[in-house]
Amino acid sequence: MTLEEKITEELYRRVLKKDRDLYAGQEYFDKKSATITALTEMTSLSENEVDQLAREVHSEVAEEYRRQNKLHLNMAVSGFSLLFIASLTVITLISAAAAWISAIVAISGLLVIFRYYKQFVRNRQIIIDNFDKKGHNWKEDSNFRQKRYIENNQYVFEGGTEDWCYWDSVDFKLPTKFTLEMTSLWKEGTYGTYGVMIADGDENNLTLELNARGAVSYSISKNSKKVINKSWKEDFIYKGSSKKKNTIKLKVDNDKFKYYVNDKLAYNGKKDILGDFVNIGLRVCDIQIVAFDSLRIMDDKTKAVLLDENFKIPHQDWTPKLQKEYTKSFENNQYIIETFRDEWCYWSHFPLDVSQACDFTLRAVWMEGETSNFGLIIYEEGDDYYSFQIQRNGKARYFIKRNGKTVFTANYTDTEYRGDGKKPVTLSVKIEKQKFEYYIDGIFVISGDFPQKEIKKISTSVCGFQKIAFDKLVVEEK
């Protein structure tokens, strides 16, 4: 057999073996998924609860299996040692023929050890996920920064981001003397602020504030900075009630005003640092839902009703809006994460219980959007992790986060990958002996230290405004 024939034969053998290993891993995953689904249907436990129990059972049984194999290995080593000593004794006492027999016995003992050793080291996990099933706890969900919509003759605001405020306004020039009334219903969520904002321009405004704890306040901003911010007064509105409506009233007389809540005077104030009001807005902050019932404005000199908004036929300046934050879904055997927020990253977790010596392979397709990072996160312990990233322009890097802080960020390395909406990219991370190597499409990018002994979780990650489809994940213990 020529050298080329030997190489071809060996390559053929290894490819078939690799294929059998991968098929065995996929077959195990299919059986496990089917079992979890059946147990979920038979019991009152959720699929996540059954899957968690399955992981616990796997860890316990695998550990017992390793313990037994280690015991067998130790027994074999002891037996071989005795055989070896006996062989040496025989060699010194009897003929050469008997010595050969003893040597054969010793070699047989070595083969026994090797067989048990192979069993011991082969007890490794191979996990293959083609994202054609809703397994591995990948979540299908979505979130938004804000929603505004007209429903049942109410203008409903849903805030979806902590500590952020959202508003909508109409341009409306107000007289020097007027009365404003607004009725609203807090429906659910946090006890963040909400209310009415009246402005003399984009940067100067008077804001009348409520919260569902029952408190009221007001503030005045000049050039986008608060110059007056009144302390909260308690027990003015209905606390945490989603059934009782609250009404605020503002009576303005030139530079002075009175602020009432549910017909009870809360504040006397001055607006002399502000100009004529030309804009009225409804405003909601934090994660909560507030429905605005009505907004009424009357000229106190002429008694004319300037605005009588009950949202049956809304004013044309109101702008309902859905501002998404992210969506996660399964589609066409792909797990798709679409993100809608600049410089923010979103991820989906996959619990693991593997040793450090492990190969991770993730295949993804950049579908559309801006040029930003996406990739694979490997967790050390708790929320400490290594994030391996790639961009559609082929730039790859990694960074390390510990205790909530980024402690190291590698420079970007150029690769040959270019995302065009169809072409997949394969990220590979090989970890062994407290070191890692990072590859893009099989080409080495960078290496570094990885001191953690166990890996408990990995995540897919997408940042910025873009849409990424993940279509294959392979985790293979060495």
Residue bearing tokens 């040959």: 416
Neighbours of 198 (CB within 10 A): 25
pTM: 0.67
Which pair of structure tokens corresponds to residue 73?
A: 């290995």
pLDDT at 328 over 70: yes
Neighbours of 462 (CB within 10 A): 27
Question: Mean pLDDT over residues 13-40, rounded?
Answer: 55
Per CATH, the homologous superfamily of domain 324-477 is Exo-inulinase; domain 1 (2.60.120.560)
Q: For 439-475, what is each residue's pLDDT tens digit?
A: 999 999 999 999 877 888 899 999 999 999 999 999 9
The more confident residue out of 264 and 85 is: 264
Residue 64: strand, helix, or coil: helix
Q: pLDDT value at position 31?
A: 56
Enumerate the domain spans of the chain. Answer: 3-126, 154-311, 324-477
Neighbours of 336 (CB within 10 A): 20
Q: pLDDT value at position 243?
A: 83
pLDDT at 79 over 60: no
pLDDT at 121 over 80: no
Bridge partners (DSSP) of residue 323 are 146
Q: pLDDT value at position 407?
A: 95
pLDDT band at residue 154 using 50, 70 and 90 as cut-offs: very high
The more confident residue out of 354 and 76 is: 354
Q: Are domains 154-311 and 324-477 of this chain identical in fold?
A: yes
pLDDT at 117 over 50: no
Nearest alpha-carbon partner for 475 in 391, 375, 355: 355
Q: pLDDT value at position 22?
A: 47
Q: Are strands 385-390 and 395-402 parallel, antiparallel or unpaired?
A: antiparallel
CATH of 154-311, one of 2.60.120.460, 3.40.50.11540, 3.40.50.80, 2.60.120.560: 2.60.120.560
